[in-house]
Structure 1
Amino acid sequence: MSRLLGSVRARATLGATLVVAVALVAAGTAVLLSLRSNLLGEAGTQAERSAREVATELAVGTPYADLSLDVDDRPVQVVDEDGTLVAAGDDLERITGTGVDAVKPQPAASPGGAGDDDGDDDAGEPLEPGEIGERTTISDGSATIDGDTEDYRFAAVPVETEDRGRLTVYAGAPLSAEHGAVNTALTVMLIGFPVLLAVVGWVTWLVTRRALRPVEGIRREMAAITASEDLARRVPVPGTHDEVARLASTTNETLAALEASVERQRRFVADASHELRSPIASLRTQLEVAAAHPELLDLDGAVEDTVRLQRLAADLLLLARLDAGERPADARVDLAALAREEAAGRAGVSVREEGGDTGAVTVAGSRGQLGRVLANLLDNAQRHARSAVEVSVRRDGGLAVVGVADDGEGVPEADRERIFERFVRLDAARSRDDGGAGLGLAIARDVAVRHGGTLTARGGPAGGALFELRLPAA
């Protein structure tokens, strides 16, 4: 049972059925109450009409024996102001609900006392002789007429007569129609509501199955992708343009991003292995030669290869930390002081701080990582400059801007984004020993992005390349 209710289809069907059931019960109750109220009101109207017909006959002085008391086999009583039954239908055998249980008329008392007060007594509204009261009292009871017992709605109408004082006419209308209609409606509801609920549940089950069929297709395809580890596969996108279609599109976008990430990781590992192989092979060769012929040991070359290997390992470690989402430290860093520190000891590198009287250009971040960015930019600029490299530091609104410009040949516009990719080197003729592994600019941009900034390349004022680092100022 719990497994079944764990299904979206089952929960949707159950929820829809419950909602419809509550609505049907509420609507059915309202219909039954309204039907009963209308039928009771109609029965009361019929009873009042019958009572007023008899009251009209009494008002004009019709004798008790000539009253129309057996019309339509309805119970009728005429009671004087002393509560004595003075007239009733011949077939009336039993009656309740009128306050007078007698069914056989009794001899009337002398009406003299009642007629003298013109009907102005404590029993009801004052009436003139021959006048019928406006107010009608309604009550429910039962009566047996000619052996048949039924429930009735009774109406009591007062009438003032000339010679018999105040009389009250009780007339009843049967409630069999009300009971029959209510029972019929209740029976129809008891039979129809379960059938209707079954139809609602069945239709909801079919509709949800059709609506969730694409979701099941997406699930099966995702399971197949997980089993095969083939990230090139995509889930089917239904043509419904609804939430399921958007889910499928988002899933495919996620798979594409994951595939690209895995491909970048695979390419990164391959390139890193390739880059590491060269200095390791060179170092191994030199050591093997030195082992066989100590006098041929190239100590300087071995140290250079070791340093290069060390730098490459440090670059790979930093990239791994950046890819893992390492957050930079939240320290205040003076970019002008950092630029002067990194430029110190580098031939042909000058530092210019624009607007120096406005205060230090500071940012929040990791001093070590930002120093690595400037070092990589200076290494790249010195590698391609003819004679000079200039570092500028300034504020631009809410940004701190560091520019590194050289007077070399510059970067072709088509390659100004590609140079920030990992292991990319534009100068194919440059040897690995003379240049880097193609990680410096990639590291610099990753660090800039992690600090909420940007790193771009464009043409410099001296004809070479200008790299601009923009970071939020502290």
Structure 2
Amino acid sequence: MRRLFGSVRARATLGATLVVAVALVAAGVSVLLSLRSDLIDQAGTQAERTARNVAASLAAGTSYADLKLDDDEEPVQVVDDHGTLVAASEDLQRITGTGTGAVKPQPPRESTGSDDEDDDTALEPGEIADEVTLTNGSATIDGESADYRFAALEVEVQDKGTLTVYAGASLDAEQGAVGTAQTVMLIGFPLLLGVVAAVTWLVTRRALRPVEGIRAEMAAITASEDLARRVPVPDTHDEVARLARTTNETLAALETSVERQRRFVADASHELRSPVASLRTQLEVAAAHPELLDLEGAVEDTVRLQRLAGDLLLLARLDAGERVGDKRVDLGELAVRGARGRAGVTVEATDVEVVGSRGQLERVLGNLLDNAQRHARAAVAVTVRREGDWAVVEVADDGRGVPAADRERVFERFVRLDEARARDDGGAGLGLAIARDVAVRHGGTLTVRDAPAGGALFELRLPVV
């Protein structure tokens, strides 16, 4: 049961059925109440019409014996101002809901006239009251019992005083109609709910069929670990199609990320192999022939290995989402300190503060200066200034520059444009990649373009405090 109602289709079907059921019950009750009210009003109108006809006959002087009270086979009573039944339907055997339960007429008492002769609302002889009192009751006529709507109407008759006419109209039509409506509802509502449930089940199954296809394909991708596969996109413009497209975009991003990690691991292994192999060779030679130990070369390989390990560790921390920090850092001060002791480097800087990690920003400036010195012919110029809400750091060299087609590629990991360059001179190709990652994580950008005097100009932009 839990598995069944754990399905979206089952919950949607149940929800739709419940909503329709509540709506049908509310509508059915409203219809029944309205139908009953209308039929009762009709019965009341009919009873009032009968009462006025009898009252008109009495006002015209018709005697009790000559009253036609059995024409419509409805219960009629005439009661005088003493409460005595003076006329009634011939076959009336029992009655409730009127002024008296008597069914057999009695000889009338002498009228004492109206007790309200000074009342402005008192009736004149032959006058019929405007107001009618309606009540519900029952009666038995000729052995048949039924419920009735009774109308009570007063009439003033000469020498007879104030008489009250009670006339009934059967409620059988109301009861029959309401009963029929209830029967139809009791039979029709479950059938209608069944149709609603079936239609909802089929519609949701059709609507969710692409979702099942997406789920199945995702399960297959998980089992095969083939991130090149994509989920099917339905030929619609609804939420399911957007879900499929977003899923494919996520798979593409994941595939790119995994491929990037694979290349990273492969390139890191390749870069580490060279200094490790060189250092091992020197140590093995030194072990066999101590006089041939190249101590300077061993130190250089160790330093290179240390730097490479540091770069790889920083990239790993950046990929893991290391926080950039929230300290104020003066980029002008960092530029001056970073250029100190570097030959051919000039600095023109103003104090511009940003928020971030001082260590990471020092690493960015250091990497940019290392790259510029590596490619410069003679001079490197560093400029730090503020432009609106941005701190701008420019590092320009007078080297050969970066071709336009490679200006994004140089920021990829382990990329060296000059493949013929010695590894010892060119580094591992991680400096610019690290610089851009740090810039992006600080909410900024790092781009490259041609310097005004030739060479390459790297521009770092970071939001100011």
Range into which the TM-score falls when normalised by the shorter chain:
over 0.9
Shift of 1:282: 1.4
The aligned residue for residue 189 of structure 1 is: 185
Say which SS state the counterpart of residue 424 (structure 2) adopts.
Answer: coil
Say which SS state the counterpart of residue 165 (structure 2) adopts.
Answer: strand
For residues 278-293 of structure 1, the aligned pairs below 5 Å read 278-293=274-289
Say which SS state the counterpart of residue 206 (structure 1) adopts.
Answer: helix
Shift of 1:121: 7.6
The aligned residue for residue 80 of structure 2 is: 80
C-alpha separation in 2, matches of 1:364 and 1:60: 108
> Of the candidates 449, 456, 468, which is equivalent to residue 440 of structure 2?
449
The aligned residue for residue 430 of structure 1 is: 421
The aligned residue for residue 415 of structure 1 is: 406
Shift of 1:292: 2.2
Say which SS state the counterpart of residue 64 (structure 1) adopts.
Answer: coil
The aligned residue for residue 98 of structure 2 is: 98
For residues 45-444 of structure 1, the aligned pairs below 5 Å read 45-111=45-111, 113-114=112-113, 120=117, 125-353=121-349, 356=350, 360-444=351-435
Contact 1:423 1:437 in 2 (8 A): yes
Shift of 1:295: 2.1
Segments of 4+ moved more than 3 angstroms: 119-122
Shift of 1:163: 2.0
Listed one character per residue, the Cα deviations across residues 57-81 of structure 1 (whole Å, up to 9, x for unaligned) are 1111011111111012111111111
Shift of 1:329: 2.1
Say which SS state the counterpart of residue 65 (structure 1) adopts.
Answer: coil
Aligned residues: 465
Say which SS state the counterpart of residue 423 (structure 2) adopts.
Answer: coil
Shift of 1:291: 2.1
C-alpha separation in 1, matches of 2:444 and 2:379: 26
- CA-based RMSD of the aligned residues comes to 1.3
Shift of 1:266: 0.2
Shift of 1:188: 0.8
Contact 1:457 1:467 in 2 (8 A): yes
Shift of 1:302: 1.3
C-alpha separation in 2, matches of 1:146 and 1:335: 113
The aligned residue for residue 43 of structure 1 is: 43
Tell me, which stretches of 5 or more residues in structure 2 are unaligned? Answer: none
Contact 1:315 1:439 in 2 (8 A): yes
Shift of 1:147: 1.1
C-alpha separation in 2, matches of 1:95 and 1:459: 112
Shift of 1:293: 2.2
Listed one character per residue, the Cα deviations across residues 352-393 of structure 1 (whole Å, up to 9, x for unaligned) are 12xx4xxx2111111111111111111111111111111111
Tell me, which stretches of 5 or more residues in structure 1 are unaligned? Answer: none
Say which SS state the counterpart of residue 346 (structure 1) adopts.
Answer: coil
Shift of 1:424: 0.8
C-alpha separation in 2, matches of 1:198 and 1:294: 94
Say which SS state the counterpart of residue 377 (structure 1) adopts.
Answer: helix
The aligned residue for residue 21 of structure 1 is: 21
Listed one character per residue, the Cα deviations across residues 406-455 of structure 1 (whole Å, up to 9, x for unaligned) are 11111111111110011111112211122111101000111111111111
Contact 1:125 1:133 in 2 (8 A): no
If the length of structure 2 is used for normalisation, what is the TM-score? Answer: 0.98
Say which SS state the counterpart of residue 391 (structure 1) adopts.
Answer: strand
C-alpha separation in 2, matches of 1:297 and 1:72: 136
Structure 2 residue identity aligned to 1:104? K
